[in-house]
Structure 1
Amino acid sequence: MFTGASGVPETAGSSGSRRVLVTGGAGFIGGHLCERLVGEGYRVICMDNLRTGSLDNVKHLRSEPNFEYVDHDVTTYIHVPGGLDEIYHLASPASPADFERIPIPILKVGAIGTYNALGLALAKDARFLLASTSEVYGDPKVHPQHEEYWGNVNPIGIRGVYDEAKRYAESITMAYHRHHRVDTRMVRIFNTYGPRMRSHDGRMIPNFIGQALAGEPLTVYGAGEQTRSIQYVDDLIEGMFRLMRSEETRPVNLGNPVEYTVAEVAELVLSLTGSERGVEYLPLPEDDPKRRCPDITRARESLGWEPQVGAEEGLRKTVSCFSER
């Protein structure tokens, strides 16, 4: 059931603006993307089943005439009345906390959900963007990771459900591109953070900020020497927006190429929050990547994109949001 501001199905072009679908639109990244698209004048259908998303991420958009929320699970047939110009396929749980909690839904949304979304793109002649992930590189043996690297993934490990779901999603996207001539784009998203993340998301930055604000020690796995690149969400949304409008059909890394150790990120969060509880070290999880850093040469050359928000600035904004919440 479509429950837009008008209460009736919409059709493409009736207001002269482009009509887009964002699956997983009530998620952390999806909510920011919907906000950007509405701000650019697009007519946005936000589709989510709220398994890991939240209406809080889009509540400020619900009164917008160009925004429509649809409660739907993309692993079942997707029906959208009227035309569509673009589909952003973001639907997927992405937190390590979900890998053991809901492994089958993760695999289903990567396989069946992507199949359904691509079928819709084919039927509507819509341009399709897949939100993939740096996890397709697994625990990489090449640094920094470039798009031609095939990765080092354990298909039967705890993280395999997410890694392989996204690898399959990339494969079926390219199959539809080659065989059905669907106009596709593919972004490999590296560690992204910012306002409106789930406080108990299970990922590094919301964990650290939540623990610091609660007066708890920050949990660092291993010795904290593993590295991560951390990208502020506004930079990612800008890159995705540019990619959808480009002619680049190859996978594109979007991430911040500045590497930080996990211990360094923890110290920065402690400093920004004023917490004095310090760090608690725990055993390293299975298949936890030791280094993660993107080569963004393709994004620079094809999109004219590179991140603009530094770690301290972005973390300060995120801490402020968590504090208010």
Structure 2
Amino acid sequence: MRVPVRWLADYVSHPWTTEELGHRLTMSGLKIEAIERPSELWGDVLIGEVAQLEPHPTSKKPLHIAHVHYGDGMVTVVTGAQNLYVGAKAPIVVEGGTIPFGPNGEPLKIEPRPMAGYTSHGMLCSSRELGLGDDHSGILILPEDAPLGQPLASFLGEDVLDIETVSNRPDTLSMIGVAREVAALVPSEVRLPDLRRLANNVERLDKESIGVEIADPDLCPRYSALRVDGVVAVQSPNWLVQRLESAGMRPINLLVDLTNYVMHEYGQPMHAFDASQLRGGKIVVRRAHEGEALRTLDGVDRSLPPEALVIADGDRAVALAGVMGGENSEISSETS
């Protein structure tokens, strides 16, 4: 269980350094396997801002030429990232500096690099290159208030506790569960999220939500579902992206990210289905049928043994219960 320390502070206050917090939790019965500080490797990483952006005029690949202001000057960067825009703030390492994690996972010194007739004098960083997660599909876009030219570590650095989870301590599989442990050590009170403020933003409709049938209650005695209409699968805000990445999860879109956020916060397994893809308009919790298969969200085709518990619609399996959802019902840009 990865516990970002700043996120933990939302729920409980304590007077200790990260090292002392880790020691006290270990002495209370939780084993802290590691304290991770990705920002310790960011000595050469600055906060830059894209001042100009134009397509590479001759490259056959989808490259862009970005002119990036980094406080002390301007640097030209040739990049294949497709999520940049003028005004975007992003981590940058200029010529002579070192990227914490290069293509092979090792530190990479930035040197002038000719690319299709233009020379790149720096590198804009993805989350993976900073050690914040596995995502390298685009540059890590920072919030608008990120201070231009300042070290990234002064703005984004966060300690993470890596806690070993054991079968008799399921409470440590959530941020709030760990916060309760810390509160008992201080002692202090746990601050739970105030859900009352959401009441005025949700309109409850007097109509059927979605049916749930539990065919095998010996494996799953209770399953709840809620239909939510009028949603858009947009990109999550930066604060949410950063928290998920610090917790070791890959951001997808706002709808998926919210379920993962709440799951990590409360320890309640959650999954978002596209209701339009659920055949029969219902969810059935059952054992897998003989010879049944499911392509999960990681693109792997899985043969399901008869003892496996699946979440199904009226016709087919749509998720492997408690493990991973299926591609046949995943949230997409068309989900509403």
- Pairwise same-fold verdict (TM > 0.5): no
Structure number, greater radius of gyration: 2
Higher strand share: 2
TM-score, length-normalised on structure 1? 0.22
